[in-house]
Amino acid sequence: MEIGETGGIKVDHNYKTSDDDIYAVGDAIETYCALSCKPLRLPLAGPAQRQARAAADHIYNIPHINKGVIGLSTVKVFNLNAAATGLNEKKLKPMVFLTTLFISFLRIKLA
């Protein structure tokens, strides 16, 4: 089975591996990041469950749209809620141009 650049099992948008008879979902695969347009490992239960449903849909010829993931996690510590989504600074730095563009867009939108 083909392994992707992130070390996860490579799958297509229907979660089919390089072996036509084998699907893979969850922590073992690399998925598609809708923000960076690059492969991404996202070991979370929510995406794993959606991927499993999408793979089952494909097996039964039920159409589905795979838009990729952006990643979201939350944590509650006593009364404090914290959440993170999207790309972190390390991943964004190589994408300075896009980030600048995005920030400019936000400024125009918020002005």
Ligand X SMILES: Cc1cc2nc3c(=O)[nH]c(=O)nc-3n(C[C@H](O)[C@H](O)[C@H](O)COP(=O)(O)OP(=O)(O)OC[C@H]3O[C@@H](n4cnc5c(N)ncnc54)[C@H](O)[C@@H]3O)c2cc1C
- Which positions touch ligand X (CB under 6 A)? 26-28, 43-46, 48
7 vs 43 by CB, closer to ligand X:
43
* Closest CB 106 distance from ligand X, rounded Å: 28
Q: Specify whether the CB–CB gap between 47 and 58 falls below 8 A.
A: no
Q: Specify whether the CB–CB gap between 59 and 79 falls below 8 A.
A: no
44 vs 98 by CB, closer to ligand X:
44
Dist CA 73 CA 42 (whole Å): 11
75 vs 108 by CB, closer to ligand X:
75
* Closest CB 17 distance from ligand X, rounded Å: 14
Measure Cα distances from 28 to 38, 42, 70, 99 in Å: 17, 9, 18, 30
Nearest position to ligand X, beta carbon: 26
* Closest CB 35 distance from ligand X, rounded Å: 18
- Indicate the residue type of 65: I
